[in-house]
Amino acid sequence: MQFPVNLNLEGKRCLVVGGGRIAMRKAGQLAACDADITVIAPDVVDGFDRIAGSIHRRPYQSGDVSDFRLVITATGNAVVDQQIHDEADALGIWVNSADDPERCTFTLPAVVRRGPVMITTSTAGVSPALSSWLRGRLTDLVGPEFEAIAAELADERARVHATGASTEDVDWAPIVEQAIRSHGGSACLASPDRPPCVTTGACQPAQPGTDPASAGHAASAGAPRATERSDPMTVHLVGAGPGDPDLLTVKAARLMASADVVVHDRLAHPDILALAPATAELIDVGKQPGRTTPQELINALLVHLGSQGLEVVRLKGGDPFVFGRGGEEAEALTSAGIAFDVVPGITSAIGAPSAAGIPVTHRNVSAAFTVVTGHRVQGGSSGVAWEALAQVGGTIVILMGVSERAAIARRLMAGGLPADTPVAAVRWGTCPNQHTVRTTLAGLADAMIEPPSTIVIGAVAAFDFVSPSLLQDTVDIPGARG
């Protein structure tokens, strides 16, 4: 039986032996505690230097564990891990061997952090997947509001001390429950009866003045609960939105805050990545000129991480199912039997034009819009019948089409779309450096447009609701002039 204890490792010397992703993830947990981290490994993965205080690029040598308070080994070599365990244990130094409970004198729990509030779950190394699953449920129950709740209760405790009374004589239960209700915390936790939705994860926010027990079951009549599953979620295909981190969904932010690993694209905003715990491993699989991660390797990585029972966030720009290859990743996870879910995001096909003051539809101007990719598939064609698309009408929104814009414009005009059709290209849509280029279909090929840009073709591309004074000068809207 293990004894639970919280260690203060601030400034304490800790050793991590191993340079792989598991070692870096565990080093990240130490970094979150402001430990002084030394790493010994012949090679280390990218990003390790941002966590470790010092890295010695060499194999482990006998005696290396001396003078450290705590040791973690993740070499992948059973002989070396055993040697490290034996040497550390003989010196009375706590040691953890990754994925090997028999060589551990301590284990690392799954953690939910909300300011000073820290909730840990552990299975003594028997089932990390179960610990991760429990943490996911606790993350639902104990939201970010608990940091403010803890601060309020700390003030109340100080007031009690100031009166000279003992905090032991105070009935804290109703005070805590009222604080939870006042901050909109989980109704399940705010209820003295502890309704069974604590175990289902189907809690609703507590509202001041309502009965917390009934509030917790507000969604139980009729609609099924999205969180009722027999299998734990391990991989989340999450849409990061069009760029502005403020447009990230609440659910996506919550999942980021509890992630063990974040697998992200090149254009992921730093502020969104910063939502991940300090202990989380960030893996950049973005595609860019000169460095491409094959989709097959990304699929295999998600399957590998998901099979370890880790909370994995696959962060994808826009919406994961809109030209984000989320469908291919979902297929790979399904084939491997890995539980996953999909968290929609605002696609740049809508978000970027909107931020530039361009509605993709407008009554009497455009009754429909078509979203297509201009990207060629492995050196071939995009598979889009541009001449036929020119006859559809409405608005055409093109993603990843900058490099092919000349050919696209030529084929659309060949299909009958007028050469003077308005065109707008929105680069870095929703971001502070957003820039819009306006031209016509005939001028699209020569327009100064750079990726990443969302191209809008059609009458609505002449709109500019960001500068409304220009609206009636650029677009003739039936009835707009009175």
**CA distances to 80, 87, 126, 214, 280 from 71, in Å:** 13, 10, 20, 48, 19
Q: Is 287 a catalytic residue?
A: yes
Q: Which of 346, 379, 408 is the last residue of a domain?
A: 346
Tokens at 444, concatenated = 């699209």
Tokens at 71, concatenated = 């040791």
72 assigned to some structural domain: yes
319 and 277 inside one domain = yes
Tokens at 277, concatenated = 């715990």
Question: What is the DSSP track for 415-432?
Answer: TT--TT-EEEEEETTTST
359 and 338 inside one domain = no
Which member of 140, 265, 319, 464 is catalytic? 265
Alpha helix locations (H) across 348-404?
A: 348-355, 386-389
409 and 438 inside one domain = yes
7 assigned to some structural domain: no
286 and 353 inside one domain = no
396 and 338 inside one domain = no
Which member of 89, 284, 287, 341 is catalytic? 287
Q: What count of other Cβ atoms lies within 10 Å of the Cβ of residue 155?
A: 9
244 assigned to some structural domain: yes
Range of the domain at 276: 235-346
Closest C-alpha to 405, from 365, 457, 356: 457
pLDDT values of the chain reduced to their tens digit, one per residue, 482 residues: 778 888 889 999 999 999 987 888 888 878 878 899 999 999 988 778 777 889 999 999 999 999 899 999 999 899 999 999 999 999 999 999 987 888 888 887 777 778 788 888 888 777 776 777 777 777 777 877 888 899 999 999 999 989 988 888 889 988 988 888 888 776 566 555 554 444 444 455 555 554 444 444 443 333 333 333 334 558 999 999 999 999 999 899 989 988 889 999 887 888 888 888 766 788 888 765 555 788 999 999 999 998 887 889 999 999 999 998 999 999 999 999 999 999 999 999 999 999 999 999 998 899 999 999 997 654 556 679 999 999 999 999 999 999 999 999 999 999 999 999 999 999 999 988 899 999 999 999 999 999 999 999 999 999 998 875 554 444 444 444 33
Reported for 287-290, long-range contacts at CB under 8 A and 24+ positions apart, including other chains, are none
Domains in the chain, number: 4
5 assigned to some structural domain: no
- H/E element holding 13? strand 13-17
In angstroms, the CA 284 to CA 265 distance is 6
In angstroms, the CA 466 to CA 198 distance is 46
In angstroms, the CA 277 to CA 113 distance is 9
70 and 173 inside one domain = no
Domain containing 313 — which CATH number?
A: 3.40.1010.10
pTM of the model: 0.60
245 and 323 inside one domain = yes
Q: What is the DSSP letter of 4?
A: P
278 and 315 inside one domain = yes
Instruction: Confirm if 74 and 98 have CB atoms less than 8 A apart.
Output: yes
Q: What percent helix, strand, coil does the chain show, rounded to 5?
A: 35, 20, 50
Pairing of strands 422-427, 435-440: antiparallel
Domain containing 27 — which CATH number?
A: 3.40.50.720
Give, to the nearest 10 degrees, the angle between helix 295-307 and helix 326-336.
40
Q: Which of 166, 181, 216 is the last residue of a domain?
A: 216
Q: Is 284 a catalytic residue?
A: no
